[in-house]
């Protein structure tokens, strides 16, 4: 049976109030964003003692932390920003086990100066791939020293976006300390969104062995090709709703074939956590209801 969880970062509250809200809404696990009103890792407020406190609060609430968010653009073209982003990711790896999970998550990023999700033509060059590969190898080696697995989340406008790019990265890294977040919406752009079912089958046929956790959002063609963000009190990684010709709304508000997605997920990974994202606080119940009803319908 697939369990249904949510990112904690969609709740703009203290740790205790966030846990209460998540429990009241019936979620069974979380992906942890350390961005609470009383502790924000991006502001340097995470200590060993605070990490222990967070873990114990979620343990007392019987809410397993299945992964730690450390989303950052670690291939940023500005060397100073790049190093700061890598240092942040490594800091989260340092705290991961203490926080309660062996999985730490990030996208690979983009050479775009102004956005973590907008394409830059340098992303598709061999030089930038090799730079990205070197950084990923360094992160994975650091993760291994900490008994942690680094989970890559691909995105079409990042350096690592397609099935083929993921396969190449994993073949080049060759480590047990790297895994993949299963999120089929991140593969779609205008050129392939019309072949959704075929793309879903391809994703699972070729990448299933790398998948460790799964995400639940949606995708559809967008009338507005600019970078899209929701007006919510959350980190930028959680306000993001797509860039270019594809919008990424909450689960049930787009065109993803959720019956096929969840059938394939259950076929390949029958107990994998499915984490809801790209919601505003008021839309959380509807997104959870949609995912729960879909899972019931397909028997997952």
Tokens 């730079």 belong to which residue?
131
Work out the burial of residue 223: count CB atoms within 10 Å of its CB; fewer than 13 is exposed, 13-18 middle, 19 or more buried.
exposed
| pTM listed for this prediction | 0.97
CA torsion, points 79, 83, 86, 88, in degrees to nearest 10?
-130
Write out the chain's pLDDT in tens, 300 residues: 999 999 999 999 999 999 999 999 999 999 999 999 999 999 999 999 999 999 999 999 999 999 999 999 999 999 999 999 999 999 999 999 999 999 999 999 999 988 888 888 999 999 999 999 999 999 999 999 999 999 999 999 999 999 999 999 999 999 999 999 999 999 999 999 999 999 999 999 999 999 999 999 999 999 888 888 889 888 888 988 888 899 999 999 999 999 999 999 999 999 999 999 999 999 999 999 999 999 999 999
Asked whether the beta carbons of 192 and 221 are under 8 A apart, the reply is no
The residues that bridge with 152 in the sheet, in sequence order, are: 106, 180
CATH of the domain at 107: 3.20.20.150
Please state at what angle helix 284-298 crosses helix 258-268, rounded to 10 degrees: 60
Task: Give Cα separations from 267 to 147, 157, 240, 263, 270 (angstroms).
Answer: 29, 29, 30, 6, 6
Phi, psi of 181 (to 5 degrees): -85, 130
3-state secondary structure of 129: helix
Please state at what angle helix 196-207 crosses helix 258-268, rounded to 10 degrees: 10
What residue ranges in 86-216 does DSSP mark as E strands? Answer: 103-106, 149-152, 178-182, 211-216
Find how far residue 85's CA is from the centre of its chain.
Answer: 16
Please state at what angle helix 79-99 crosses helix 126-145, rounded to 10 degrees: 30
Retrieve residue 266's tokens: 């259950």
Retrieve residue 290's tokens: 């949609």
Q: In 122-146, which positions are buried (b, 16+ CB within 10 angstroms) versus exposed (e)?
A: ebeeeebbebbbebbbebbebbbeb
Our count of domains for the chain comes to 1
Domain that holds residue 93: 4-298
Tokens 């904690």 belong to which residue?
8
The residues that bridge with 240 in the sheet, in sequence order, are: 229
């Amino acid at each position: 049976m697939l369990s249904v969880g949510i990112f904690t970062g969609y709740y703009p509250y203290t740790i205790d109030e966030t846990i209460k809200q998540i429990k009241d809404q019936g979620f069974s696990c979380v992906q942890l964003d350390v961005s609470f009103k009383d502790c924000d890792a991006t502001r340097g407020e995470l200590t060993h003692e605070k990490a222990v406190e967070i873990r114990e609060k979620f343990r007392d609430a019987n809410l397993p932390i299945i992964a730690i968010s450390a989303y950052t653009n670690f291939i940023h073209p500005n060397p100073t920003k790049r190093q700061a982003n890598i240092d942040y990711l490594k800091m989260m790896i340092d705290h991961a086990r203490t926080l309660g999970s062996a999985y730490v998550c990030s996208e690979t990023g983009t050479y775009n100066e102004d956005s973590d999700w907008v394409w830059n033509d340098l992303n598709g060059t061999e030089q930038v791939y090799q730079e990205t590969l070197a950084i990923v190898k360094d992160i994975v080696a650091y993760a291994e020293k900490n008994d942690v697995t680094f989970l890559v989340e691909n995105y079409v406008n990042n350096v690592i976006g397609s099935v083929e790019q993921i396969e190449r990265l994993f073949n080049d890294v060759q480590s047990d300390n790297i895994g993949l977040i299963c999120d089929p919406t991140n593969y779609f752009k205008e050129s392939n969104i019309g072949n959704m079912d075929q793309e879903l089958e391809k994703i699972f046929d070729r990448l299933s062995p790398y998948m460790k956790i799964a995400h639940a959002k949606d995708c559809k063609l967008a009338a507005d090709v600019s970078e899209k963000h929701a007006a919510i009190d959350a980190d930028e990684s959680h306000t993001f709703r797509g860039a270019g010709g594809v919008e990424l709304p909450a689960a049930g508000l787009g065109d993803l074939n959720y019956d096929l997605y969840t059938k394939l997920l259950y076929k390949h990974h029958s107990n994998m956590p499915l984490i809801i994202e790209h919601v505003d606080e008021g839309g959380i119940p509807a997104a959870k209801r949609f995912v729960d009803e879909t899972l019931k319908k397909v028997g997952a």
